[in-house]
């Protein structure tokens, strides 16, 4: 089986074995040592010395945690969106009472940092910018470094959805001055879903002190209090911790530059296939095409569900269709985490076989 | 190793094996079938035909979900507490703006339903009652059936923390008219932490429509929308689902009456030991002593940390100390989920050996 959706992603055997370990006391020494081993390894991957919180939730829960811990009802924020997950981040902030100035792009477009600069100039009372690094729904990666430069020059907080990029694509939390950065265990980390990670800068902690949105389960103050003991305020997803400990060792042994390079090569292979088959990437400018998920425009005569169905049922290759309004118009290949060029060769070979059988009736 | 804390609890080998299965697409047919198999089995254990939502979070996250989906800021509620977890439920409601009328008891006391009746009579504008069924911190089980009778006679909503009782102690959600009932996977369910369960009555759904507390990740409307497809709005903790599917089969094969009986027998063994050693249960009236966790008052000359340390390091028995203000004054034996009378015999034998070595210096 080739599970090639943008998460959950396949886990190495060593990770699966660790996940099946017997339970331990989450308030005991062994768990404390486990979290204290995992945290600095996560910080290495985040390229940060900021506090790193581990939350038992999905990536979306992680995004909610960034919102409710940094903002107050009525706060004006700039909500930058290039797709479904950007919209979700904005929607969450609205639900908690933020006043959102949207900066939205068409599907397949990446953010132009100049637009952010202008929006912040036009709205000097904006407190924070919400932005997606890698938009899973459109297979597009934003120029985060350049966006962050503009946001930090304007003296604003930047809250980043790096759920599907962190650990697979270069994200330099400290060098780029990113305030809160969220990722999720089932993406590039080679472990099952259940955990979200949040890095929190010194400036973010200052904003947190004044942030009045209600929060309990996701409260960063409560989480921080338990860091010294290697614990979390609420019972954590212990099995995923077991797997993560092993996966992080594998990742750091490979090394971040090698991991980023591998993701790029695998993605380039996918993009080359797309173009050579006369298909079109959804990403308008290939420069911004994602190295973790490739979104492809379905040709007019393709029935996407027939394509993904044939791939799954006949070739044991699982890819994703389009989300929301992109359903039926897009298919997406996930290539993040535990993936090699050989995996991608197998996937593309299966796609070649399935393509002719995906015609609309 | 005998892991005898009130959660996480040990998992059977079959469950651990299932947990280590390779990832699948959480939007695919296989996952849909998995959730559609699990949900009715959970409903059987909850003894309910109400909607049953599965949330990727801890028990505390489950409690938060009950609060934010049922209440509006400014709502008056009766917060019944007999310990740390009752206090936590109340604290969460306060954070989201509920006006809490507290009905608190001393550690070891159970709720007197007449007190609830009186409090509701004195406060006719109360909208909902928050109550803990089984208070893990004090090893005390409230007379939930009788409490619910009073609450429903008064026409109020009842939101129940059954995190550490459901599946181990009889809780009849439908027969007792319980509106929202929360449990957590790492308690009596014999699976790791990561999932919370929420049953939602028709009356609760009506309250939900008018409830204005902000919610996104925990929103029941969003969760309900995905039930027909056997999915969840956000990526679920797939591994725990795998284990839960197997554990529920084991539980239903044993049968609820047999499970409740086993928990009672194991607990009685623990209580008999406590009394025969001249120790005292924290539960003031043995009638309300919990069948899932036994809390014992530490004798004046006992150093609790020495006792739990010796048990852990020398006899591979892991029990819990007291929480919060009970630290150093109480030790607690968890006996829920995957536990037999033979397990308890081993635990008690180890405690007999460790007891003399737990004296204060």
- SS3 label, residue A268: helix
Of the CA atoms within 13 Å of residue A352, those in its CB half-sphere come to 11
> What percentage of residues in chain B have a pLDDT greater than 90?
100
Confirm or reject contact between B5 and chain A (CB < 8 A). yes
Closest residue in A to B23 (Cα–Cα)? A10
CB spacing of B11 vs A3 below 8 angstroms: no
* CA atoms of B54 and B34, how far apart (whole Å): 12
Instruction: List, as ranges, residues 73-92 from B with C-beta within 8 Å of A.
Output: 91-92
* CA atoms of A351 and A99, how far apart (whole Å): 44
Of the CA atoms within 13 Å of residue B11, those in its CB half-sphere come to 31
CB spacing of B25 vs A217 below 8 angstroms: no
B229 has a pLDDT exceeding 90 = yes
The CATH number given to B256-357 is 3.90.1150.10
CB spacing of A193 vs B10 below 8 angstroms: no
Q: What are the strands, taking DSSP E only, across chain B? A: 2-3, 51-56, 76-81, 99-104, 128-132, 134-135, 140-141, 157-161, 180-184, 195-200, 280-281, 293-297, 317-318, 320-321, 330-334
The dihedrals phi and psi of A97, each to the nearest 5 degrees, come to 95, 10
Q: Which helix (H) or strand (E) holds A158?
A: strand A157-161
> What percentage of residues in chain B have a pLDDT greater than 70?
100
**In the 8-state DSSP scheme, what is residue A330?**
E
| pLDDT, averaged across chain B | 98
| Residue spans per domain, chain A | 13-252, 256-357
Q: Which candidate from A9, A214, A217 shows the least CB-CB separation from B61?
A: A217
Chain A nearest CA to B222, separation (Å): 12
H helices, E strands: number in chain A: 12, 15
Chain B nearest CA to A319, separation (Å): 9
* CA atoms of B220 and B200, how far apart (whole Å): 9
CB spacing of A194 vs B56 below 8 angstroms: yes
Same fold, A13-252 and A256-357: no
Rg from Cα positions in chain A: 20
Write down the pLDDT at residue A280.
Answer: 98
B217 has a pLDDT exceeding 90 = yes
* CA atoms of A28 and B257, how far apart (whole Å): 33
Rg from Cα positions in chain B: 20
The CATH number given to B13-252 is 3.40.640.10
Q: Which candidate from B22, B60, B320 shows the least CB-CB separation from A217?
A: B60
Q: Is it true that the peptide bond before A8 is cis, omega within 30 degrees of 0?
A: yes
* CA atoms of B167 and B52, how far apart (whole Å): 14
> What percentage of residues in chain A have a pLDDT greater than 70?
100
Arithmetic mean of pLDDT, A255-273: 98
Query: Chain A interface, mutation test: which of B73, B98, B192, most A Cβ atoms within 10 Å?
Result: B192
DSSP one-letter string for A62-84: HHHHHHHHH--TT-EEEEEESSH
Instruction: List, as ranges, residues 161-200 from B with C-beta within 8 Å of A.
Output: 184, 186, 192-194
Q: Categorize the per-residue pLDDT at A361 as very low, low, confident or very high, splitting at 50, 70 and 90.
A: confident
Least trusted range by pLDDT, from A32-41, A336-345, A352-361? A352-361
Determine contact, residues A158/A148, Cβ cutoff 8 Å. yes
Confirm or reject contact between A25 and chain B (CB < 8 A). yes
Write down the pLDDT at residue B18.
Answer: 98
Write down the pLDDT at residue B100.
Answer: 98
Write down the pLDDT at residue B251.
Answer: 98
Per-residue pLDDT reduced to its tens digit, B308-349: 999 999 999 999 999 999 999 999 999 999 999 999 999 999
Q: Measured between beta carbons, which residues in chain B are less than 8 angstroms from residue A233?
A: 60
* CA atoms of A230 and A26, how far apart (whole Å): 9
A53 has a pLDDT exceeding 90 = yes
Per-residue pLDDT reduced to its tens digit, B165-211: 999 999 999 999 999 999 999 999 999 999 999 999 999 999 999 99
Determine contact, residues A64/A88, Cβ cutoff 8 Å. no
Q: Which helix (H) or strand (E) holds A16?
A: helix A13-19
Write down the pLDDT at residue A323.
Answer: 95
Confirm or reject contact between A324 and chain B (CB < 8 A). no
User: Count of CB atoms within 10 A of residue A253's CB?
Assistant: 8
Query: Chain A interface, mutation test: which of B65, B185, B237, most A Cβ atoms within 10 Å?
Result: B237
CB spacing of B57 vs A60 below 8 angstroms: no
B62 has a pLDDT exceeding 90 = yes
Chain A nearest CA to B72, separation (Å): 12
Q: Which helix (H) or strand (E) holds A55?
A: strand A51-56
Sign of CA dihedral A101, A105, A110, A113: negative
Closest residue in A to B88 (Cα–Cα)? A216
Per-residue pLDDT reduced to its tens digit, A275-313: 999 999 999 999 999 999 999 999 999 999 999 999 999
Closest residue in B to A64 (Cα–Cα)? B217
Per-residue pLDDT reduced to its tens digit, B242-256: 999 999 999 999 999
* CA atoms of A136 and A8, how far apart (whole Å): 12
B35 has a pLDDT exceeding 90 = yes
Chain A nearest CA to B295, separation (Å): 17
Write down the pLDDT at residue B82.
Answer: 98
B361 has a pLDDT exceeding 90 = no
Arithmetic mean of pLDDT, B57-73: 98
Confirm or reject contact between A16 and chain B (CB < 8 A). yes
Instruction: List, as ranges, residues 217-246 from A with C-beta within 8 Å of B.
Output: 217-218, 233-240
Confirm or reject contact between B255 and chain A (CB < 8 A). no
Per-residue pLDDT reduced to its tens digit, A220-251: 999 999 999 999 999 999 999 999 999 999 99
| pLDDT, averaged across chain A | 98
DSSP one-letter string for B41-75: HHHHHHT--SEEEEEES-HHHHHHHHHHHH--TT-
């Amino acid at each position: 089986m080739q599970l090639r959706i943008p998460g959950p992603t396949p886990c190495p055997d060593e990770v699966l074995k660790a996940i099946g370990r017997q339970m331990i006391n989450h308030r005991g020494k062994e768990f404390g040592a486990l979290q204290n081993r995992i945290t600095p390894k996560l910080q290495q991957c985040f390229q940060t010395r900021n506090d790193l919180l581990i939350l038992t939730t999905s990536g979306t829960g992680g995004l909610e945690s960034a919102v409710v811990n940094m903002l107050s009802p009525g706060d004006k924020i700039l909500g930058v969106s290039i797709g479904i997950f950007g919209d979700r981040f904005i929607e969450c902030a609205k639900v908690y009472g933020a006043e959102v100035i949207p900066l939205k792009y068409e599907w397949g477009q990446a953010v132009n940092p100049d637009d952010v600069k202008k929006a912040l100039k036009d709205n000097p009372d904006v407190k924070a910018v919400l932005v997606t690094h890698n938009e899973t729904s459109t297979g597009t990666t934003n120029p985060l470094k350049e966006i962050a430069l503009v946001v930090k020059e304007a003296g604003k907080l930047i809250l980043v959805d790096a759920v599907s990029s962190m650990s697979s694509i270069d994200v330099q939390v400290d060098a780029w001055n990113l305030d809160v950065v969220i990722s999720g265990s089932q993406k590039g980390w080679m472990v099952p879903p259940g955990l979200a990670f949040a890095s929190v800068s010194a400036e973010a902690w200052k904003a947190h002190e004044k942030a009045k949105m209600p929060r309990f389960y996701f409260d960063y103050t409560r989480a921080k209090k338990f860091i010294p003991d290697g614990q979390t305020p609420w019972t954590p997803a212990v099995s995923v911790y077991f797997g993560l400990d092993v996966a992080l060792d594998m990742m750091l042994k490979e090394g971040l530059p090698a991991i980023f390079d591998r993701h790029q090569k695998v993605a380039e292979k996918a993009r080359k296939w797309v173009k050579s088959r006369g298909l079109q990437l959804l990403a308008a400018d290939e420069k911004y095409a994602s190295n973790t998920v490739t979104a492809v425009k379905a040709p007019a005569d393709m029935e996407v569900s027939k394509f993904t169905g044939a791939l799954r049922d006949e070739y044991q290759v699982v890819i994703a269709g389009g989300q929301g309004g992109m359903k039926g118009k897009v298919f997406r290949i996930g290539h993040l985490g535990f993936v090699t060029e050989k995996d991608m060769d197998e996937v593309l070979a299966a796609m070649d076989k399935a393509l002719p059988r995906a015609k609309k009736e």
